[in-house]
A and B are shown apart, each in its own frame.
Chain A
Amino acid sequence: MTDAQTQGPAGEGTEPDPRFTFANERTFLAWSRTALALVVAGLGVVQLLPPFPGVPWGRHVLGVPLIVFGAVVAVAAYGDWVRNQRALRLGRPLPRSVMPWLLAAVITVIAVIAAVVVLVSALR
C-alpha cells in the first residue's frame, strides 16, 4: 500500500478531492434531515391530527409507515454514502441512487392512503 492509499469506507483506492468528499457528506446529511422530517411527520399525524370519524385506525395507518420509512431512509443514506465514497476513491462513475425514486413512491402511496382514509371517514 502506497502513501497515497488511505483507509476509507472500503479501505481501498486513493483519497478523492476533499470537495467531493464534503459534497458526499452534505448529501448524506440532507437525507438524514429528510429522515428526521419523515419521523416528525409520522409522529405529528398520530399525535396532532384529530381522529378520523369512523376510521379509528386512520392516523396510525398514515403515521407509522412514515416513521418506519424515516428509519429506512437513514440507513439507506449511509449505504449511499459508502457506495459514493468508494466510487470516488476508485475513480469510478457514481452509482445511481434509488432513494429519490423510493421517496417519491412512498410519499405517493401515503398520499393515496390518506385520500382513501379521508373518503372512508366522510362516507361513514
Chain B
Amino acid sequence: MTGPAGPGSPAVPGGPAVPGGPAVPGGPAVPGGPGGPGGPAPTGPGRDGPEDLDPGLARERTSLAWTRTALSFAAVGAFVLKKDVAAGLVIMAAAPVIWRLGRLVHHRPGQLKLVAATIVAVALVALVVAATSG
C-alpha cells in the first residue's frame, strides 16, 4: 500500500492524518486515533508537550465544544422540566448521549446530523409546551 493509512491501519511517517488510524509521527493528531476525542493521548519519543500531542489543541477544544453542547441540552431540559416533566427528562437524557457522540470517532456526518435532528425535536417539544401554556 503506497498511500496514507486507512481507518484502523498503521501510521505512515510524515503522511497525512487519517480518521480511525493512529497519530502520524510529525503530523497532526487525528480523530479516532489513540489521541482522538475519546482516546488516550499518544506517547512516544518526541511527543512531550501538548502541542506535540495535539497541534493547536484542536482535539481538546473540539472535545470541550461537545461538552458545552451537551451541557446546553441539559440546561434546556431543566428549563422544559418546569413545565413538562416527561419532555424535560427526555431532553435531559439527550445530554449524555450528545456528550458520548463527541467521543465516538466513526460516521462523523451521521453524528452531526443526529445533533441537528435532536435540536429540531427539542424545538418541536418547545413549540408544544409553548402552545399549551397560557
Count residues on chain A whose CB falls below 8 Å from chain B CBs.
Answer: 45
Which of A9, A29, A47, A71 sits near B66, CB closer than 8 Å?
Answer: A29
Chain A interface helix/strand/loop/mixed: helix
| A15–B123 touching, CB < 8 Å | no
For the residues of B in contact with A, the DSSP-based class is helix
A60 to B128, alpha carbons, bound, how many Å? Answer: 12
CB within 8 Å of B: which A16-57 residues: 17-19, 21-23, 25-26, 28-30, 32-33, 35-37, 39-40, 42-44, 46-47
Closest 3 CB pairs of A and B: A3-B3, A74-B119, A71-B123
* Complexed CA–CA distance, A15 and B21 (Å): 12
Interface contact B2-A3, CB-CB below 8 Å: yes
B16 at the binding interface (Cβ < 8 Å): yes
Check A6–B109 contact: CB distance below 8 A. Answer: no
Asked whether A18 lies within 8 Å of B31 as measured between CB atoms, the reply is: yes
Q: Which of A8, A25, A39 contacts B76 (CB 8 A)?
A: A39
Considering only CB atoms, which chain A residue lies closest to B111 in the complex? A25
- Which residue on chain B has the smallest CB distance to residue A26? B65
